[in-house]
Amino acid sequence: MIMDKDIEKIVASEAKIEEVCTNLGKRITEDYQGKDLVLIGLLNGCNPFFSDLLKHIDLKVQVDYMRASSYHGTIKSSREVKILKDLDMSIAKKHVIIVDDIIDTGRTVNCIKEVLSLKGALSIEACVLLDKAEAREEAFDAKYVGLTIPTEFVVGYGLDYQEYYRNLPYVGVLKEEVYKK
Ligand code: IMP
Ligand code: MG
């Protein structure tokens, strides 16, 4: 791809991502047998992880989306998390899994979880493709984690830099020269 030249190294190949989606889907399928489950994707980063993961969940589930913002086009997370789009459906008496591309400081998922906990859900868990565990500033344990990665700025497979690179089919570290230009 034309964007390959901007990538320093690959942290999750297409094959690895496929394996991760298969395994996470299997675990969720086993854990939520007989339960009313709603999967909530966090826009825009959850795409395409969300759609690939959904194909591996063999349950009758509902799907909705929320949008929160914290990066504001930079490579650093900002302290303030804003809810830009709330849920459309009710999650009262339902089990919920928040699905996102990555947990970094933990602020976004924590804030979303807080908002959701006021809506009467029976349980709230999180499922992320990537976890920058060492970058955590607010405690948060995602029950479903694809891969734990070092604290480096990554792009691809939904993750962006200034809204670019989301369509890269793998996840890689962005060359410093790209964002220092
Ligand atoms: P947190 O609130 O700091 O945990 O940040 C979570 C959000 O920041 C994720 O939903 C991503 O959209 C974004 N983010 C965190 N790390 C990266 C990265 O390395 N590349 C691109 N986006 C990231
Ligand atoms: Mg995001």
Q: pLDDT tens for residues 96-130? A: 999 999 999 999 999 999 999 999 999 999 999 99
Please tell me whether the overall predicted TM-score, pTM, comes out greater than 0.75 for this model.
yes
Pocket mutation for ligand 1, best pick of 44, 49, 77, 148 (most atoms within 8 Å of C-beta): 77
Nearest by Cα to 51 from 93, 101, 1: 101
Of the ligands numbered here, which is closest to the C-alpha atom of 128? 1
Q: Give the per-residue pLDDT at 75.
A: 60
CB-defined site of ligand 1, < 6 Å: 42, 45, 70-71, 77, 100-108, 153-155, 159-160
User: Which CATH class, in words, describes the domain spanning 14-152?
Assistant: alpha beta
Q: Give the per-residue pLDDT at 74.
A: 62
Nearest by Cα to 58 from 33, 82, 41, 78: 33
Given the residues 104, 131, 141, 160, select the one marked as catalytic.
104
Pocket mutation for ligand 1, best pick of 108, 148, 167, 168 (most atoms within 8 Å of C-beta): 108
Q: Give pLDDT tens digits for 21-60.
A: 999 999 999 999 999 999 999 999 999 999 999 999 999 9
Residue nearest to atom 16 of ligand 1 (CA): 104
How far is residue 53's CA from residue 49's CA, in Å, rounded to a whole number? 6
Helices (H), the chain: 14-31, 49-55, 107-117, 176-180
Nearest by Cα to 146 from 97, 113, 103, 95: 103
How far is residue 55's CA from residue 58's CA, in Å, rounded to a whole number? 8
Q: Are 150 and 33 in contact (CB under 8 A)?
A: no
31 is catalytic: no
Q: Give pLDDT tens digits for 71-95.
A: 555 666 566 788 899 999 999 999 9
Q: Give the per-residue pLDDT at 91.
A: 98
pLDDT band (50, 70, 90) for residue 179: confident
Q: Are 26 and 56 in contact (CB under 8 A)?
A: yes
Backbone angles phi, psi at 91, to 5 degrees: -115, 15
How far is residue 124's CA from residue 92's CA, in Å, rounded to a whole number? 11
Domain boundaries, the chain: 14-152
| Ligand 1 center to 91 CA (angstroms) | 25
